[in-house]
Amino acid sequence: MGIFSATKFARNARIAAIAVLSSALMFGGASVALAEGANTPDVSPSTEPTAPVATEQPAEPQAPAEQPPAEQPPAETPPPAKSTPPSERPAPPAEATPPAEQSTPPAEQPAPPADDADEATQSRKAEVPALRWQAIDAEGRIVAGTTLTLQGPRDADVTDRGNDEQWADSPEATVLDNVGQANYDGADLDPAPGLFRIESFADDDTPDVSVPVDVAFDYRVRVLEADGFLTADATDWASLTVLTDDTVKPTDVTLQAAPAARSNDAIVTPMLVGPDGPGVTKPYLYWEVRDTTGNALRGGATLEVQGPRTSNYNWWRGEYNVKWNSSVTVTDCVSTPCTGADQDPDPGEFLVMNIGSHRVSDSNRYRVRQQTAPAGYTFTDTNNDWVTIPGSRNTPSGWTADGTYDFGDFMVKKIPPMSPVCTAGQIYGVTAAGQLRAISSAGVVTPLGTKASGVSIFNGLGIGSGGSPVYAIERTDTSGTAQNATVWVYNTTTGVWATTSQSTSSLGGNSGTNMVGGAVDLKTGLYYFGGFTSDGDFKVYQYNPSAATKIKFKGTIVTESNSSANGDIAFNANGDLFVVHGNGNQTTIYSVTAANLAAANGGNIASSKSATVTTMTDVNGVAFDSAGRAYLGSGSQMKSFAMPGFTGEQNVVTSGLGTSDLASCSSPATITVQKFVQGGRVSSGDQFKLTLSQGTTELGTAVTTGSAVGLQNEQVGPQPTVRGVTLSFKEAAAGTTVLSNYVSSWTCLADGEPMSNGQGTSGSVTIPASGDVIECRITNAPLIATVNVSKTVLDTNGENPQPGAGWTVGAAPSLATIVSTPTGITQSTNAQGNAAWSLKFKNAADKTNVSVSEVQKPGYEFVSGQCLIESLDGSFTEVDLQGPAAQALTDIKPGDDVDCAYVNKKIPGSISWQKVTNDTPATNIGGSTWTVQGPDIAGPTATVADCVGANAAACAASADKDHRAGYLQVTGLAWGTYTITETIAPDGFELDTTPRTVIVTAANAQAGATMNPVVNVRKLGTAGWTKVADGTTTLLGGSEWTITGPGFTAPNNVIVDCVAASDAECTGLDKDSDAGVFKITGLAWGSYTIVETAAPFGYIVDSTPHTFTIDKTTVGAAIALGAFENSLGTPPTLPLTGGLGGDFYSFLGLGVLLLAIALLITRRVWLRQASRDGGAMSH
């Protein structure tokens, strides 16, 4: 039979069976409703009634098929059924009773226990020790929904000094009231609100380790969170004893009332807070999102709600189709107005009245499931199951009478941080399997992030400042020294390890070490790792992710061991490296300064060795915290010690630690003892031994080598240290040293700032509460004081300091027994402006005065001087020098370093000159303007105008500082050559543009530089006029004049009208060649008068004097005197009758006329000749 035929046969058989069943019931008088089955028992919110049906699919609103009503199906053939996934098809119906609908797979439902079982359970509980109490208010009423802190057991063996010392190490748990809420997983076993029963509990830091309560010990409890009541430190602890009899009344824990306050993270109890919101009307759906810690409401979640549930029977397929219809994502409304599906503005509370366009009804079934947890949190239910209103098919149960349904609480928990925290006492470790672990000072171990994938020999944990970056290495072998290592990096955001694929194998061969340690430089952020060689030395590698070659071999730290060892490395905030060498139970620290590590390039790296102390066996990890404690790990356990002496041992983890390495990202304070040799050694073989101690315990030593002066390479430390501890240090003679030949003193610095000092070869220091780098330096100097005198000169503006070379300075000691080198009390400063003396004393207690001086040079002035006297103990004395003269510095002693500095300034120069006339004698004249160019001139040139005022103050703001006319002075000039050029001459004088130079030097800076007077020549004037006929503009030639004034004397003062072809032919006083036009040039300054002495022919002479003046205001252009008129003369009168005849007179007149013409021609020739010959002729 084919598949189709078999299916058809089965379907027909089912239909026939149903028909037979229906007929039987009808004949038997049975009545079956045509609805879905009734009287199906209610189920929990998470499951529907059980039956052998398919599971609901969360992503598909379709629900499993239901059984049809028990009535006879229709006679006609049912319509074709839609295809239904096999997972949703029901099992064959059972007999005559239709199966109940079920939305989840079949599950075993435990039967209610029999009465005798209940009694047995109660009997067992009565025998189990438990802490029992009830939370009540001041009126004795039960208070539900509280959260309390439970602590215990109390350690009665610890001395209690009033600071709860007996409770200091007791486990502490947060206990949330069990009020019957779903998914409760706390320690309270009593579901009655306000009543508590605790049979065992786990410390909050180790939630996976639960310990039963013990009748032999005391416990205590206090309120942590409760709305309207005092909590935590504001309330008192209540003592509890363990009870074994349930008939004993629980202990009363009375809550003290306090003003109520609520925030987004407030603790909200079901009895006090619930559904609310503006405009809310019933019916509605309600649920809350709460934190597992303290049961606090947490705002910000989103959930999905679906409904209403509907179903219909598919006769053809013989099954019910279930739909959930509308669906909406509900985002938590945390403030009004609420515009989404959630209408409750309280964070963490959800109230839904509408699912899309569907209004919620208490006659329907709905379901809810999680979507997104609040930021920083995750839902505790990782299955993300639907929570469904129970009921029978579409008929709900569980709605309240007034139309509300509470889905209960959806629990969230805070996502643990993935990044390390850099605080005192917080240590981190890594397992060989690659799991990063946080280890508290109380020994609580917490995994951090996920394990590195595919590793098994993880080591070398290093953590940077602030908790990032985090590195480790995967070794190539579990033992031996022929290993390589690959660097891994930890993502502090995701908590995931990833390989960098960078390995020491890229350097060629294997490292030759056992690769046991790693650390991040807290100053640079670079990762260092390495291990011990077979002969005990430690090889250091550097990983720099920014470099082209990311892994580099830095060098080798030579130890005093001769065999391979275990250990680890660590850094402080200064970048100093600590290599912890573990051999058996012996531990030694080798310290490398940041400077030496940075300078390392593949060779041996200088280090300082601490004393070897007994700590713990097989140290494989080390970490230091900011409190100065060292944490040593040895696989299964971890201990801490107070540094630097590894005292105050404390067990942190006693077993099961399981780490291969330790690290931290906080930095301890460090102590370093250094040696400074000042001025040289008395003998070349002189050396010094340094020792650092804590009490009588020697912590480290170092001996100097070589003959270098200054800070010696050898030192003790740096060594990590706790704060508040007092440490001592000292020096001793080594080599050929005789300490009495030296002056010794010491000083201690905290982060470079002085904190204490003293004299002698030993001292002590108490590590302060602040300051990370503590350095104590012992200084030795031969019985010598040094005197250094430096000279600095400034320019004329008091700027641009330069060494003063070639100056004479002096240093003269007053004590006769002192030997001075050089022997002279004065020296000339070198090219750097320095001169130095070495003063050797005879005895350490000797003192002397030293008189310092300088010889002033011309052109300079003293500005300032100061001497700084530094003693061996680091103290300073400042002495101000009052001038160049000798000044005594008192009580100079061996080991003093005297530094004196003189500052001198060039005296500004000046230039002076005069402007004079070309007169005899010459006179000063104002009004000129000049340009000055030179080294102290801003710009190409400076303009200097002659300032004329009543006094010097009138010219204070002018470039010319001399207020006298014709006197100029420019001051405040730098030394050098200046060029002075006249640009504007005084009025009436010719401009002299000749550049003149003058030099300002040290020799003339004080008095001022001068130059010869600059002479200006006066300009000459010009005057002109015309001769015209009376009443006309007709020019008349032939007049003569005399002129009187400066430079004109008779007979050379006659002006004859020049008539010529051009002005160049006029050689007389008149320089104009036109008849009747006069021009007199070259007139000196003064008053002039011209008078006509001969009129043009036929005209009457005008003897009126005409006066004019030539001065600075008129020399610029010719003076126009105007037109001077002449009147025509009167001729003789002839008789009209009698006398001689008319012909006589006619011939006589003709003759006279001809004679006149001849005379006129002769006169013109004569005048022209006279004009050419110089103008004036004697008569």
pLDDT digits (tens, 9 = 90+) for 73-119: 333 333 333 333 333 333 333 333 333 333 333 333 333 333 333 33
As beta bridge partners, residue 1123 has 1026
Determine the Cα–Cα distance for residues 905 and 863; give it in Å rounded to an integer: 6
State pLDDT tens for residues 492-522: 988 999 999 999 999 988 888 889 999 999 9
Q: How confident is the model at residue 1152 (pLDDT cuts 50, 70, 90)?
A: low
| Residue 972 confidence (pLDDT) | 86
pLDDT at residue 419 greater than cutoff 70: yes
Strands 1021-1029 and 1077-1083: antiparallel
Whether residue 570 sits in one domain with residue 457: yes
| Residue 265 confidence (pLDDT) | 38
User: What would the mean pLDDT of 188-215 be, rounded to a whole number?
Assistant: 89
Determine the Cα–Cα distance for residues 835 and 789; give it in Å rounded to an integer: 5
User: What would the mean pLDDT of 966-991 be, rounded to a whole number?
Assistant: 91
Determine the Cα–Cα distance for residues 65 and 51; give it in Å rounded to an integer: 11
State pLDDT tens for residues 361-372: 999 999 999 999
| Residue 1047 confidence (pLDDT) | 85
Whether residue 728 sits in one domain with residue 865: no
- In order of 66, 175, 721, 1028, 1170, the CA distances from 1078 in angstroms are 144, 132, 115, 12, 16
Determine the Cα–Cα distance for residues 834 and 829; give it in Å rounded to an integer: 5
- Is residue 36 included in any domain, yes or no? no
Query: Which domain does 843 fall in, by range?
Result: 784-898
| Residue 1132 confidence (pLDDT) | 61
Single residue among 729, 747, 781 that ends a domain in this structure = 781
| Residue 15 confidence (pLDDT) | 37
- Is residue 245 included in any domain, yes or no? yes
Whether residue 239 sits in one domain with residue 141: yes
Strand order in the sheet with 726-735: 697-703, 686-694, 726-735, 762-766
**Burial of residue 1049, with CB atoms counted within 10 A of its CB: 0-12 exposed, 13-18 middle, 19 or more buried:** exposed
967 alpha-carbon distance from chain centroid:
62
- Is residue 510 included in any domain, yes or no? yes
User: What would the mean pLDDT of 587-616 be, rounded to a whole number?
Assistant: 94
Whether residue 1071 sits in one domain with residue 999: no
pLDDT at residue 576 greater than cutoff 90: yes
Lowest mean pLDDT of 257-266, 808-817, 921-930, 1064-1073, name the range: 257-266
Whether residue 995 sits in one domain with residue 878: no
Q: Look over the chain and give the mean of its residue pLDDT values, rounded to a whole number.
A: 83
Single residue among 601, 635, 663 that ends a domain in this structure = 663
Q: What is the CA radius of gyration of the chain?
A: 59
CATH number for 346: 2.60.40.10
- Is residue 499 included in any domain, yes or no? yes
| Residue 1169 confidence (pLDDT) | 53
CATH number for 189: 2.60.40
Most confident of 416-425, 536-545, 609-618, 1133-1142: 536-545
Q: How confident is the model at residue 1157 (pLDDT cuts 50, 70, 90)?
A: low
Which residue, 1080, 1078, 1079, 1075, is CA-closest to 1096? 1075
Determine the Cα–Cα distance for residues 271 and 226; give it in Å rounded to an integer: 11
Which residue did the predictor score with more confidence, 680 or 407?
A: 407
User: What would the mean pLDDT of 1000-1010 be, rounded to a whole number?
Assistant: 86
Query: Residues 566, 620: contact at Cβ < 8 Å?
Result: yes
State pLDDT tens for residues 448-489: 988 999 999 999 999 999 999 999 999 998 888 888 999 999
- Is residue 399 included in any domain, yes or no? yes
State pLDDT tens for residues 32-46: 333 333 333 333 333
Query: Residues 941, 933: contact at Cβ < 8 Å?
Result: yes
| Residue 1161 confidence (pLDDT) | 60
> Helix (H, G, I), strand (E, B), or coil: what is residue 628?
coil
Looking at the structure of the chain, the number of domains it has is 7
Q: How confident is the model at residue 1005 (pLDDT cuts 50, 70, 90)?
A: confident
* DSSP-assigned letters across all residues of 139-201: TS-B--S-EEEEE----TTS---SS-GGGTTS-EEEEE---S-TT--SS----STTEEEESEE
Query: Residues 44, 76: contact at Cβ < 8 Å?
Result: no
pLDDT at residue 56 greater than cutoff 60: no
| Residue 1150 confidence (pLDDT) | 62
Whether residue 775 sits in one domain with residue 680: yes
- In order of 136, 160, 224, the CA distances from 234 in angstroms are 17, 22, 10
| Residue 589 confidence (pLDDT) | 94
- Is residue 442 included in any domain, yes or no? yes
Strands 887-892 and 848-854: antiparallel
Q: How confident is the model at residue 622 (pLDDT cuts 50, 70, 90)?
A: very high
pLDDT at residue 172 greater than cutoff 50: yes
Lowest mean pLDDT of 21-25, 286-290, 569-573, name the range: 21-25
Whether residue 477 sits in one domain with residue 335: no
| Residue 988 confidence (pLDDT) | 84
| Residue 72 confidence (pLDDT) | 36
Query: Residues 71, 105: contact at Cβ < 8 Å?
Result: no
**Burial of residue 357, with CB atoms counted within 10 A of its CB: 0-12 exposed, 13-18 middle, 19 or more buried:** exposed
State pLDDT tens for residues 708-719: 999 999 999 999
| Residue 343 confidence (pLDDT) | 96
pLDDT at residue 69 greater than cutoff 50: no
Q: How confident is the model at residue 1148 (pLDDT cuts 50, 70, 90)?
A: low
Lowest mean pLDDT of 11-15, 949-953, 1054-1058, name the range: 11-15
User: What would the mean pLDDT of 561-565 be, rounded to a whole number?
Assistant: 75
| Residue 1156 confidence (pLDDT) | 61
Whether residue 704 sits in one domain with residue 604: no
| Residue 1088 confidence (pLDDT) | 94
Strands 284-291 and 404-414: parallel
| Residue 1113 confidence (pLDDT) | 86
User: What would the mean pLDDT of 1161-1173 be, rounded to a whole number?
Assistant: 52
Lowest mean pLDDT of 900-909, 937-946, 1074-1083, name the range: 937-946
Whether residue 936 sits in one domain with residue 807: no
Single residue among 781, 799, 824 that ends a domain in this structure = 781
| Residue 964 confidence (pLDDT) | 95
Query: Residues 456, 432: contact at Cβ < 8 Å?
Result: yes
| Residue 127 confidence (pLDDT) | 64
Whether residue 1011 sits in one domain with residue 1028: no
Whether residue 713 sits in one domain with residue 651: no
Determine the Cα–Cα distance for residues 366 and 60; give it in Å rounded to an integer: 14
Global model pTM greater than 0.75? no
User: What would the mean pLDDT of 542-558 be, rounded to a whole number?
Assistant: 96
User: What would the mean pLDDT of 389-416 be, rounded to a whole number?
Assistant: 92
- Is residue 1172 included in any domain, yes or no? no
Which residue, 312, 321, 316, is CA-closest to 18? 316
Whether residue 607 sits in one domain with residue 474: yes
- Is residue 106 included in any domain, yes or no? no
